[in-house]
Structure 1
Amino acid sequence: MNFRPLILGHRGMGTGEGENSLLSLIRAVQVGADGVELDVQLSKDGVLVVNHDSSLKRTLGVDVEIKDTTFRSLRKMKLVRPDGITTLERVYLELPEESFINVEIKDPLAADLVVPLVKSFNAIDRTLFSSFWHECLRKVKEKDEKAKIGLLIGEDARGKNPVEYFEELLAYHPYSINLPVQLFDEIGFELGMSLIRFVRAKGVKVALWTLNDPALLIKIRGEVDIIITDNLRGIMAALGGKGERR
């Protein structure tokens, strides 16, 4: 069988212009991704808004903090549109029902709200809840023990004993550990692959972000379960189509 990893479009079609917009997320699935990775913030009135930054300044050129603004106000500013910001609810309404969605929780306060929303779409099985705020993922599991959680690994891992650190992470009973592709530059390819194999040997999936190099993908194919990419077209071409996932 032609098994391949799950391919997710990073913020839709990638970081930059249009990222996390409804158009970008829909386009990623149209191009052939199995789903998308997106980020959620919480508005002042408790709406799950899809945006990476806490502010809209970088993406839309408006110096507005999402947590300090009601969703109604965002609408009045004409920022809620297909090429602007959208809501997590709208994403589940618009994307195909089979799409896999990695919801990265940027605001820990959103942890109590994401699971009920996803459950309202009967989409727990096709959703991965991830965050650098590992403790907020405990709240996700409290809401539904079947929820898939992915522990995002960043700079906090530097200087730690890899085996001891990952043993601590496994106590969360994660579905996946989401590693940055830069780990190969920091600790070397062979050590990086040893770390990936160690995690997978524990029955935990490995997601790699943000992998944009098709040559690297081919090199590690069969060793990683989820690929999150800004270079969706290049990665899909390297895989030669959809194939069959494991």
Structure 2
Amino acid sequence: MTRTLATLMTLLAAGFVNAAEPKVEIVGHRGASFDAPENTVAAIKLAWEQKADASEFDIYLTKDGKLVVIHDATTKRTAGEDKKVADSTLEELRTLDAGKWKGAKFAGEKLPTLDEMLATVPAGKRAFIEVKCGPEAVPEMDRVIKASKLKPEQTCVISFNADVIAATKKARPDLQALWLVSLNTKGKSRTVDELIAKAKEIKADGLDLSATPAVLDKAFAAKIKSAGLKLYVWTVNDADLAKKMIEVGAESITTDKPGWLREQLAK
């Protein structure tokens, strides 16, 4: 036995090295949105600096058929002026300031286009594109993705709209697409069997669920994974909750603080 191997075995026995350290994909929610204005180039670039494995952002279709990156249907919350994205042209939307609400140093940040966000994605990293409108956005999204430098495995499409996922898989079966579902429902929630059945119907590659430990336990997660579906969760800004989600079987965790969460999980 070499001295190096002997030392490693000693450390393992003493508990200083965790041989079974959980591996999970860390996804920046709307970029590194805790520290930078959400859904901007500044936020996604910061996510890469914080060593996120992937970054998620939201898209809407404009009046002139372009895809702009924004979470809400209107620009009021993040850009001050109340413009409905679907009733505005890209040129009109680009006159707005989407950064100054987060701080003076971000003043001048524009609402990005999908192609601008995809252009920031480094080799080995992934983009999660959340479609906030309907399947009418899929043809333009497909065009932009094809025109980007990214490989198919670097792009994941997510949406709460099941029709969007179905349309994405029909147009681009080579792209990963996951159905977003909130488990925090006040009324009657769907059973895990119903979620699996719907995911299979729309040909989703998996489910991207709210991190709700009261519902998403090991048995719930095991059923999803045994059905051959991916299991991702959102939006986790608590280290203990992140660890719990890893324990139940989550393969990917979306967070506003990718750098911080990575540090916490490494402890």
1 CA distance for matches of 2:96 and 2:71? 19
Report matched runs for 1:58-137 at 5 Å.
58-77=77-96, 83-108=109-134, 109-121=136-148, 122-137=150-165
Equivalences, count? 236
Worse overlay, 161-170 or 61-70:
161-170
Aligned to 2:217, what secondary structure does the other structure show?
helix
**1:39 and 2:64 aligned:** no
Residue 17 of structure 1 and its aligned partner are, at CA, apart by: 5.9
1 CA distance for matches of 2:191 and 2:50? 40
Distance 1:176-1:82 versus aligned 2 partners, 3 A rule: farther
- Asked whether the 8 Å contact 1:35–1:99 carries over to 2, the reply is yes
1 CA distance for matches of 2:153 and 2:238? 29
CA shift digits 1:54-108 (9 cap, x unpaired): 1110111111111111111223456698633101100111232332011000011
Residue 120 of structure 1 and its aligned partner are, at CA, apart by: 1.8
Aligned letter for 1:180?
S
Aligned to 1:178, what secondary structure does the other structure show?
strand
Worse overlay, 93-102 or 80-89:
80-89
Aligned letter for 2:49?
Q
**1:230 and 2:249 aligned:** no
- Asked whether the 8 Å contact 2:192–2:223 carries over to 1, the reply is no
**1:142 and 2:170 aligned:** yes
2 CA distance for matches of 1:163 and 1:233? 35
> What TM-score, normalized by structure 1, do the two folds share?
0.86
Distance 1:199-1:66 versus aligned 2 partners, 3 A rule: same
CA shift digits 1:184-236 (9 cap, x unpaired): 24x3xxx6331111111122111100011111222332511110011323311
Residue 239 of structure 1 and its aligned partner are, at CA, apart by: 2.5
* Match for residue 153 of structure 1 among 161, 181, 206: 181
1 CA distance for matches of 2:140 and 2:186? 26
* Match for residue 30 of structure 2 among 2, 5, 11: 11
Taking only the aligned residue pairs, the percentage that are identical comes to 24
Aligned letter for 1:125?
E
Extract unaligned runs of 5+ from structure 2.
Answer: 1-18, 100-106
- Asked whether the 8 Å contact 1:176–1:204 carries over to 2, the reply is yes
Aligned to 1:7, what secondary structure does the other structure show?
strand
Aligned letter for 1:115?
D
- Asked whether the 8 Å contact 1:12–1:21 carries over to 2, the reply is yes
2 CA distance for matches of 1:112 and 1:103? 14
CA shift digits 1:20-53 (9 cap, x unpaired): 1110011011111011011001111111100000
* Match for residue 75 of structure 2 among 56, 65, 71: 56
* Match for residue 194 of structure 2 among 164, 176, 186: 164
- Asked whether the 8 Å contact 1:22–1:82 carries over to 2, the reply is no
- Asked whether the 8 Å contact 1:218–1:238 carries over to 2, the reply is no
* Match for residue 193 of structure 1 among 177, 200, 218: 218
Extract unaligned runs of 5+ from structure 1.
Answer: 242-246
1 CA distance for matches of 2:187 and 2:175? 24
- Asked whether the 8 Å contact 1:102–1:129 carries over to 2, the reply is yes
**Corresponding residue number in structure 1 for 2:10:** none
What is the alpha-carbon root mean square deviation over aligned residues? 2.4
Aligned to 2:28, what secondary structure does the other structure show?
strand
